[in-house]
Amino acid sequence: MCGIVGYIGKREAEPILVEGLRRLEYRGYDSAGLATLTGNRLHLRKKAGRVSELGSFLQTSPAPGCIGISHTRWATHGPANDVNAHPHLAGTGNGQVAVVHNGVIENYLVLRRHLESEGVRFHSQTDTEVIAQLIACHMDGDLVEAVRKVLSLLKGTYGLAVVSPRNPDLIVGARLGSPLVVGIGDGEHYLASDPSALTGNTQKVAYLQDNQLCVLTSDEYHIFDAEKSRVSALVHSIDWTPGESDLNGFPHYMLKEIYEQPEAIENALRGRLSDADSSAHFGGLNLDVQQLRRAERIIFTACGTSYHAGMVGEYMFEEFARIPVEVEYASEFRYRNPPIDQNTIVIALTQSGETADTLAALRESKRKGHPVLSICNVVGSSIAREADGGVYLRAGPEIGVASTKAFTSQVTILALLALFFGRMRHLSSIQGARMIDELHAMPDLIRRTLRCQSEVQRIAEKYFHVDNMLYMGRQYLYPVALEGALKLKEISYIHAEGYPAAEMKHGPIALVDASTPSIFLVPRGSIFDKVMSNLEEVKARGGPVIAIASEGDAAVTDHVMSRADEVIVVPDVPEYLQPLVTVVPLQLLSYYIALLRGCDVDKPRNLAKSVTVE
């Protein structure tokens, strides 16, 4: 949520900052801005709207200088307009400071009122301006010291970058709860909220920890802890492949990422299945066998799409590992105080690894002494680093705001973990070997599933004008119903709800009418007939039905076809893997409906990738 890029070196900063912002734009896109320095002159350029608006503005008003900070915003305080865009300035002349900030300053009103009572005039409605005004007030010629003093006054979260003409040869950064990384170049340094902003510039990065402050010059970077002592940070090499985050001929990242799912699943499985012991293996769980064997309960904690993947995991763990599982919204879990027995493992699921609520839930669980694992996509992210151990998705960058390949990768990893825990307990080697074969088959089966694209597109053309849509599934497919509804509402702005199919008659069936289509997930399986009965109940009330059914068995398929208005067939797979094949047509349906409604698929309104505020 929001993106920060800073540069100091010998090259012109502006193009580097703008390119970095473009890479981070998926994290927030309601305004963008930058501030550069030439000697003791500060050049501020900011605009409401996308980074492209800022780009056009810079064509007519370039920002010169080899040092600068920049920001792309997802509004928290104050609407998206030019004034509220970052950077925020305070002070005058040489003592001016420019600040960009991610996070939320919770005590900003108290601080603002105090400053106003002393005659300070504010220009924006943001919480960030308070930081700028405070630094300007404390500025006594030493920017680093001024920032340090101000940090101790702030309550909340921040990743921030500051420059001032008074100290024209440095950038100061600080982190508490909002990620920040130093990019290390040759005679140049970068600061970013996400290493992907540095793609093409440097692969060497050092992550700041909470309560750390950094000072960058062209030639050096220093990181300090809260006690002002210098700390030596580990330098990581980021593994990005040039072009990985390009569109590769696809019109949108979301579509590209839907089509990357077979490969993402292949990557999730690679090297993790062992025929020798009919189980799965992971390099980084970092828990000893006894701890794993002793697990009496598992809690998955996550938000949004990752939460839905966790719900699929609950069914898998209960079926294969016979371990009781609970799935908790991280935003609720962090403030609850449920009694948790000692032998409970908490697993945080997250694509970005930066979701504020999931990070807080992880910290709270650690504080209570539970082993905490993460299932995460972004290498080196806060959650991946703070967990005791974990498993990476290896799905590659997910840029589209609507999560697609991260969901199917998470479900794949959860199947591997269910196999792993199952083989430690009750699962026979024959069952384990069968699961391995079934998992190996999935990438090709997803490739086959993607062939439904033209059929899905036809259905989208028929229904894109509706105002409401219902999604129904049971057991393993109830979370998929929720996920399908989430995908539709977030990118097409159609109201959609997912339900366990049998719950319909307890209330939601009142919504069914001729203009409200219901999507039924009815692949073959143990409760096929039950779900078909639920489908009939909707048909009987005049609701159009789109069914997702299994290919293969003509009698079953014919039965679904005779009852539903539209049928999309997907490969016949074991029930625990049905979420993987059934979610694909739902992703495509949302994509095509959103497109037909003229929505910005990759950057839906009001949203941002990576929710780093509470």
Q: Counting contacts by CB under 6 A, is residue 611 touching ligand F6R? A: yes
- What residues from 450 to 479 belong to the interface with ligand F6R (CB under 6 A)? none
Q: Smallest gap, in angstroms, from Cβ of residue 304 to ligand F6R?
A: 2
- What residues from 293 to 322 belong to the interface with ligand F6R (CB under 6 A)? 303-306
| One residue of 350, 518, 578, 590 binding ligand F6R per CB under 6 A | 350
Q: How far, in Å, CA of 213 to CA of 224, rounded?
A: 5
- What residues from 385 to 404 belong to the interface with ligand F6R (CB under 6 A)? 402-403
Which residue's CB is nearer to ligand F6R, number 31 or number 358? 358
Q: Smallest gap, in angstroms, from Cβ of residue 378 to ligand F6R?
A: 8
Three-class SS of 167-235? CCCCEEEEEEECCCEEEECCCCEEEECCHHHHCCCCCEEEECCCCEEEEECCCCEEEECCCCCEECCCC
Q: How far, in Å, CA of 129 to CA of 102, rounded?
A: 12
Three-class SS of 291-314? HHHHCCEEEEEECHHHHHHHHHHH
- The interface region with ligand F6R, picked from 69-77, 348-356, 386-394, 537-545 by CB under 6 A, is 348-356
Q: Counting contacts by CB under 6 A, is residue 382 touching ligand F6R? A: no
With the CA atoms of 570, 591, 577 and 304 taken in that order, what torsion angle do they form, in degrees rounded to the nearest 10?
A: -160
- What residues from 237 to 296 belong to the interface with ligand F6R (CB under 6 A)? none
Q: Smallest gap, in angstroms, from Cβ of residue 594 to ligand F6R?
A: 12
Which residue's CB is nearer to ligand F6R, number 214 or number 376? 376
Q: Smallest gap, in angstroms, from Cβ of residue 604 to ligand F6R?
A: 9
Q: Minimal CB distance to ligand F6R: which residue?
A: 304
- Who contacts 216 (Cβ-Cβ below 8 Å, separation ≥6)? 6, 8, 170, 171, 172, 173, 182, 189, 190, 191
| One residue of 167, 279, 331, 351 binding ligand F6R per CB under 6 A | 351
Which residue's CB is nearer to ligand F6R, number 199 or number 358? 358
Q: Counting contacts by CB under 6 A, is residue 202 touching ligand F6R? A: no
Q: Counting contacts by CB under 6 A, is residue 409 touching ligand F6R? A: no
| One residue of 352, 449, 550, 587 binding ligand F6R per CB under 6 A | 352
- Who contacts 355 (Cβ-Cβ below 8 Å, separation ≥6)? 302, 303, 306, 330, 383, 610, 611, 612
428: burial class by Cβ within 10 Å (0-12, 13-18, 19+)? Answer: exposed
Residue 589, helix vs strand vs coil:
helix
Local structure of residue 321 (DSSP, 8 states): I
The two tokens of residue 333 are 């879990």
- The interface region with ligand F6R, picked from 167-175, 350-358, 362-370, 474-482 by CB under 6 A, is 350-358
List active site positions. 2, 609
**Which residue in the block uniquely carries the two structure tokens 């049928």?**
567
Q: Smallest gap, in angstroms, from Cβ of residue 551 to ligand F6R?
A: 27
Residue 314 amino acid letter: E
Which residue's CB is nearer to ligand F6R, number 96 or number 358? 358
Which residue's CB is nearer to ligand F6R, number 361 or number 538? 361
Q: How far, in Å, CA of 527 to CA of 319, rounded?
A: 15
Q: Smallest gap, in angstroms, from Cβ of residue 146 to ligand F6R?
A: 34
Q: Smallest gap, in angstroms, from Cβ of residue 406 to ligand F6R?
A: 6
Q: Counting contacts by CB under 6 A, is residue 358 touching ligand F6R? A: yes
Residue 233 amino acid letter: A
Q: Smallest gap, in angstroms, from Cβ of residue 536 to ligand F6R?
A: 31
- What residues from 37 to 76 belong to the interface with ligand F6R (CB under 6 A)? none
Nearest to 212 by CA among 195, 230, 197: 230
Instruction: Please give the size of the binding site for ligand F6R, defined by CB under 6 A.
Output: 15
Site map (CB under 6 A) of ligand F6R, residues 478-507, x = contact: --------x---x-----------------
- What residues from 573 to 592 belong to the interface with ligand F6R (CB under 6 A)? none
Three-class SS of 102-166? ECCECCHHHHHHHHHHCCCCCCCCCCHHHHHHHHHHHCCCCHHHHHHHHHCCCCECEEEEEECCC
The CA-atom distances, in angstroms, between 469 and each of 450, 532, 592 are: 22, 18, 15
Binding site for ligand F6R (CB under 6 A): 303-306, 350-352, 355, 358, 402-403, 486, 490, 610-611
